[in-house]
Amino acid sequence: MRRTALPQHREVSVNGITMHIAEQGEGPLVLLLHGFPESWYSWRHQFQPLAEAGYHVVAPDQRGYGGTDQPSDVDDYSIFHLVGDVVGLIHALGERQAVVIGHDWGAPVAWNTAMMRPDLVRGVGGLSVAPAPRGPVPPLVAARQRFGDGFYQIYFQEPGVADAELNRDIRSTFRKTLAATSGESDSSAATPTAPAGGGFLSAMPEPEKLPSWLTEADIDAYTEQYQRNGFTGGLNWYRNIDRNWALTAPWQGAPITAPALHITGERDLVRGFYPPDYLERLPEQLPGLRTVLDLPGCGHWTQQERPDEVNKALLEFLAGL
């Protein structure tokens, strides 16, 4: 019986914080950046295939998450801090370059790292979230006009409110959130909104049965990891959305020139945020785009829902660099 190697864990000093990382393998560095509400664990299916193919695979708990420090100031979660963490991590690992792949919130960090520090990024990829052109007005202003005051990103803005709701029952928060936005859910592609007088979880039923790709042991792992810091660190990323828009003005219209990959799920709720032809228009921002994978029936949790297809695409992309 073949033994499955497990990633190793350690802490590194990065950009003024102590960061927890999981890592496996030796070779060229591949950074895997998780989203919200996740951790390094969301990449559990990617470690062994990439490591066996000859890569040093590193998935951190990003700033404010899991075993990594959670600064108390909301301003310490700007896109400059998040990109700075990736730059610091590359250097802390003794490397000069990396391939940077992100899912959900990790994708904007990957895209911005490639845009701001192209010298450090050999290749870049985003799962679920594509690079978005910087618009003429702050993003939350546009979101409120389009989706209303209940849109989840707006609901997340008031410090302490969503924090208390999501922290009330961490296990239930993960069961509801991961199940409701899975491709196996009837409501997977629905725009998440908090009803008047309700919260983010109000419209999400407690699932009687978990999706086929998710186990109670997975829920246990996330629950345990969130016992330390809760959800406030991740929510603080959302509280910098409009600030990030202001800070990134110098990169207005700048292309992301590194070799690029984008993977999306047909039933991913994020698809509703983009124009219908956004896949066809990706080369406008990604002139080095090499791979686009659109997964039928897949929801938001791309690399967890469809690990085999994602791993195949990542390995082909990496081999071509």
Check if 242 is active-site: no
DSSP 239-303: TTHHHHHHHTGGGTT----S-EEEEEETT-GGGGGS-TTHHHHHHHH-TTEEEEEEETT--S-HH
Q: Do 49 and 80 touch, CB atoms closer than 8 A?
A: no
Q: SS3 for 103?
A: strand
Q: Do 179 and 214 touch, CB atoms closer than 8 A?
A: yes
User: Long-range contacts: 5-12, Cβ < 8 Å, 24+?
Assistant: 5/47, 5/48, 5/51, 7/40, 7/47, 7/57, 7/59, 9/67, 11/67, 12/89, 12/92, 12/93
Q: Which of 16, 77, 35 is nearest to 237 (CA)?
A: 77
Q: Counting Cβ atoms within 10 Å, is residue 289 exposed (0-12), middle (13-18) or buried (19+)?
A: middle
Check if 45 is active-site: no
Q: Which residue among 81, 103, 262, 300 is the active-site one?
A: 300
- C-alpha 121/C-alpha 97 separation (Å) is 6
User: Look-up: residue for tokens 């110098």?
Assistant: 250
- C-alpha 76/C-alpha 87 separation (Å) is 16
* Residues sharing a CB contact under 8 Å with residue 78, sequence separation 6 or more, in sequence order: 240, 243, 244, 247
Q: Do 14 and 85 touch, CB atoms closer than 8 A?
A: yes
Q: Which residue among 61, 76, 85, 104 is the active-site one?
A: 104
Residues tagged active-site: 104, 300
